[in-house]
């Protein structure tokens, strides 16, 4: 492979990764957090669908499942979850299939809709992971939270989560001790951004922009 070929391959890979990132952002917007208050406990179904779509996108590279055994198996899993979302299950399924499985014949889809709605199946986190063959590495890479993993048990995941929480808590307490030791006049203690009703990041960004303007102004 020549240098030009290698450069073209790297560019192609970067373009694919950017496209995947954009599509993941689109998935996140579709299952936006503000819906949680509206649906309560049933919101878990939306989170599970979000995780399924992340995995499908990662494996297949787009919003269309392949028309093969693997794609059909994943489609059935998705349909069972869609059938349990709040609202009209048939509408959920048809709308989702128009994007993810446009190759599905109308008569076959009709039969699937009736069958799934009549007896929707539920999976535990690890049960679904086994069905999907989801590894812990892919779970962490994609930020999946409602599906388990086939190679790390729930007990082990809970243990790792507890360790990470203790580390976060220690960092938080360390920052609090540092903040208390600072002079009362310091920005960290006075927090001028609160008085202006803006975030800390916004306050510092505006401050930097103001300083840059002062520097650029003619003397």
DSSP E strand boundaries for the chain: none
Is 208 inside any structural domain? Answer: no
Is 168 inside any structural domain? Answer: no
CA distances from 35 to 104, 121, 211 (A): 30, 23, 41
Statement: residue 28 has pLDDT above 90: no
What is d(CA 209, CA 88) in angstroms, rounded to the nearest whole number?
A: 50
pTM of the model: 0.66
Burial code (b: 16+ CB inside 10 Å, e: under 16) for 101-132 equals: beebeeeebeebbeebbeeeeebebbebbeeb
Q: Tell me what pLDDT residue 10 has.
A: 56
Is 39 inside any structural domain? Answer: yes
pLDDT digits (tens, 9 = 90+) for 31-60: 555 455 555 666 788 899 999 999 999 999
What is d(CA 84, CA 121) in angstroms, rounded to the nearest whole number?
A: 9
What is d(CA 85, CA 42) in angstroms, rounded to the nearest whole number?
A: 7
Closest CA to 62 of 8, 90, 109, 26: 26
Is 189 inside any structural domain? Answer: no
pLDDT digits (tens, 9 = 90+) for 140-164: 999 999 999 999 999 999 998 899 8
Is 174 inside any structural domain? Answer: no
Is 216 inside any structural domain? Answer: no
Does 185 or 150 have the greater pLDDT score? 150
In terms of residue numbers, what domain contains 92? 3-151
What is d(CA 84, CA 45) in angstroms, rounded to the nearest whole number?
A: 7
Statement: residue 210 has pLDDT above 70: yes
Q: Provide the number of structural domains found in the chain.
A: 1
Is 165 inside any structural domain? Answer: no
Is 146 inside any structural domain? Answer: yes
């Amino acid at each position: 492979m020549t240098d030009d070929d290698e450069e073209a391959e790297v560019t192609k890979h970067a373009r694919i990764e950017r496209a995947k990132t954009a599509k993941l952002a689109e998935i996140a917007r579709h299952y936006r957090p503000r819906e949680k208050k509206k649906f309560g406990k049933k919101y878990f179904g939306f989170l599970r669908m979000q995780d399924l779509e992340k995995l499908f996108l990662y494996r297949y590279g787009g919003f269309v499942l392949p028309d093969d055994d693997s794609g059909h198996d994943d489609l059935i899993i998705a349909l069972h979850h869609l059938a349990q979302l709040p609202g009209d299950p048939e509408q959920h399924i048809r709308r989702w299939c128009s994007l993810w499985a446009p190759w599905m014949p109308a008569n076959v889809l009709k039969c699937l809709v009736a069958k799934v709605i009549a007896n929707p199946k539920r999976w535990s986190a690890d049960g679904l992971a086994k069905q999907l063959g989801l590894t812990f590495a892919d779970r962490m890479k994609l930020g999946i939270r409602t599906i388990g993993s086939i190679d790390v048990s729930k007990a082990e995941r809970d243990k790792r989560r507890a360790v990470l929480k203790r580390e976060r808590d220690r960092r938080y307490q360390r920052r609090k001790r540092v903040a208390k030791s600072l002079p009362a006049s310091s920005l960290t203690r006075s927090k001028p951004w609160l008085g202006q009703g803006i975030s800390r990041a916004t306050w510092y960004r505006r401050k930097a922009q103001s300083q840059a303007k002062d520097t650029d102004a003619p003397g």
